[in-house]
Structure 1
């Protein structure tokens, strides 16, 4: 048995019928050109016949405040095969994912499900995988699934994602003395946490809050339609964008790729809220998860958060970009001065009141942030599953009471894969954000084109 990590416990505590706490991924594959018509049926049959034993975390189920191994694992409970009305458009696929992402996972079993979906236009099929956020964060989930696929298009051996041995399963096979030594080393590190954390807290209170105009406090996010109570109904929308477009903007205007991505999201959110006559006078605040993993582990949660001022009160895209840059730079510098344990402890102290508010709902008009914007690094090489090339992967995440929208992105083969998850009832026509994202990218491109033209004339 393995005790729950405190962050994992929080994700379990937050869950209720209208607030499922699982994350997911939609993986779209191209069927090989000369594959038989029974390709998908054969793939599903191979998975069902596979006698492999599930590995952690896929064989773990809840037992009080511990994870324990499920000794009565039932594949049929977790693995399903469905077909869209032929030929299914992406629109029908996303509708199905929206419905699936709305349902809770049975806590009596390991907290995950996997669907193979056939009948997608363009000779494609999909896999939708969802797993409780208490079991993995975004980085860990991406690692788990990447291990299921191959870089070889000719590899035909099917190993289901729940049977691919991760780092934790390997560590459990290590000699007990080795594991005890690592635990003692970690315990020694805990004693170094307190002085550094209190030093950073003092700096935050005495310097950042008082003298830094770009400091983002825990409760400065304005009320907006993004911050309603959520229903159990979800809408999922997804689209791919060329990463090179963001890189060109970052190079021309200065700043990092992530700065530009946040600024583009800011512009899209501004346009969406204007279309709903609901743009707050104060700027939206985004919670940006930051990974604190110092190893290649692939279970549990090791994340902190950065609060980013999105500058949505400003009409000028470049001005919004500068606001984003300044607001995140402070947090980045702070976390660079701390190791992972220190950063986790700092975040727990600084954001505990905000977390308690989300958990209890005591102050519905006060929130630390308006939405979550997450960017998870993805595969850099083409991946294949039984010869089928992975064409796209779209992350699906959680929404909470008070945060009705989540924007999660990952990278793959030079693309930024964007997944939008929202409460269907709280945010009408949320899928229009995809159009607004494209329009905002074009605005930045027009700005840098005009700037280059002026330089040529003046030069």
Structure 2
């Protein structure tokens, strides 16, 4: 079974829950575009313009296979629980799928300029939360496809899975795709949604109370054990919430998040993996070391030296048997070794950090806080969102396509992921595509006025890491 056939077979597993989880609810209710945006996007570079009718038909099929792509968000009449996904009775594919033609010369700079502008336009919160655009007018008849999604639809890995549904392993049309099974069509009702949530909470109350009583009894009968657990949790919290202990970069102070700029990098996946292996790490560790090397160079060019930088690392909590899509991740912010000049040493330290984070008890601490934050007035959530502490850099890695893919007859040559700017100065995301690591940089232009310089420094940091595999 090919990669695409596997994706098609699993598409029916896409989260069928009609309500958001607590993380998705927080992303939805705390969004303040663009500084606190929850828009994620993917840019695919194509060797030619795809057939428009085939592209349209592919979206028609994929949105029926994944009903959430045809659903809008319904808030309960009072915020006693999470919002629900309900069918958009007025769904119009022609609104969500568009095509534009860039003016000459239509080079990569023009594509990125279009993409960063499109990403900053808020999604219509009354419609299904995605938009796809075919970008034509590139030199030599080439084209690009830009897809933007709201983070409540899925996380980064789920976004890659969603994109895979639109692609195939050959230029020719693929027959015999699976047909979407019939699904129930619930009637949207904000009042009923709130009532159902209250009823479910009432049923769950005895169990929750029993757990609370049990925990209190354990603390009273085993005070030393309870105190030890509390101290370990506090220590873990300090290790995974670095912004409170690491001074922020003086270059990135006063960022507003209102001016997004996109940049891209790429390298061989095999070389990046080999570089990581030289230092006892992985391709992901080498990628992070390259970013930090670039950050060190950028700061040095501006006369600033940093020993440590606060860096957020979203960690996927997906398991191999989880359904496609959804949001299953936790974020940890660490004091990254930006001042370590030796690339191998940086990789080794980052490898140790990544391994230790997996067993930190505070990693899932937000699961306790989110249900509370999701039910307080929006003014309180906005105040929490304005608290200091956002990291300077956020870095993510996503699984990608292991082989060549095609979009409606056009070969996909590169796939660049771009994340939002949740208070950070630079968001870096990396996904491999057919042996090439594609890195998308989302940069806050209010504090990085010289994007080409930053990209050049990042490229130098990448070359420094790759050199480990060439010696």
TM-score (norm 1): 0.77
2:400 aligned with 1:378, yes or no? yes
Displacement, 1:258? 1.5
Higher mean Cα deviation, 90-99 or 322-331?
322-331
Partner of 2:166: 148
Displacement, 1:90? 0.7
2:278 aligned with 1:252, yes or no? yes
Following the alignment from structure 1 to structure 2, what is the Cα–Cα distance between the partners of residues 448 and 214? 31
Q: Please tell me whether the aligned partners of residues 236 and 422 of structure 1 are also in contact (alpha carbons under 8 angstroms).
A: yes
Aligned with 2:443 (options 422, 425, 429): 422
Partner of 1:288: 313
Partner of 2:432: 411
Q: Please tell me whether the aligned partners of residues 240 and 415 of structure 1 are also in contact (alpha carbons under 8 angstroms).
A: yes
2:24 aligned with 1:8, yes or no? yes
Q: Please tell me whether the aligned partners of residues 222 and 282 of structure 1 are also in contact (alpha carbons under 8 angstroms).
A: no
Following the alignment from structure 2 to structure 1, what is the Cα–Cα distance between the partners of residues 179 and 295? 39
Displacement, 1:400? 2.3
Following the alignment from structure 1 to structure 2, what is the Cα–Cα distance between the partners of residues 229 and 93? 25
Partner of 1:25: 42
- Structural mapping, 1:33-182, within 5 Å: 40-43=51-54, 53=64, 55-64=66-75, 65-155=83-173
Partner of 1:268: 294
CA RMSD for the aligned pairs?
Answer: 4.1
Displacement, 1:86? 3.5
Aligned with 1:147: secondary structure?
helix
- Structural mapping, 1:436-455, within 5 Å: 436-446=457-467
Structure 2 regions of 5+ residues with no counterpart? 1-16, 76-82, 186-199, 220-224
Displacement, 1:383? 1.1
Partner of 2:245: 220
Q: 1:122 to 1:330 in 2, by over 3 A?
A: same
Following the alignment from structure 1 to structure 2, what is the Cα–Cα distance between the partners of residues 427 and 158? 49
Displacement, 1:96? 0.5
Q: 1:414 to 1:230 in 2, by over 3 A?
A: same
2:454 aligned with 1:433, yes or no? yes
Displacement, 1:207? 8.6
Partner of 1:455: none
Q: Please tell me whether the aligned partners of residues 263 and 310 of structure 1 are also in contact (alpha carbons under 8 angstroms).
A: no
Partner of 1:299: 325
Partner of 2:336: 310
- Structural mapping, 1:349-388, within 5 Å: 349=368, 360=382, 366-367=388-389, 369-388=391-410
Displacement, 1:426? 2.4
Displacement, 1:349? 4.6
Displacement, 1:448? 6.1
Q: 1:235 to 1:310 in 2, by over 3 A?
A: same
Aligned with 1:2: secondary structure?
coil
Name the count of aligned residue pairs: 413
Q: 1:217 to 1:383 in 2, by over 3 A?
A: same
Following the alignment from structure 1 to structure 2, what is the Cα–Cα distance between the partners of residues 201 and 434? 48
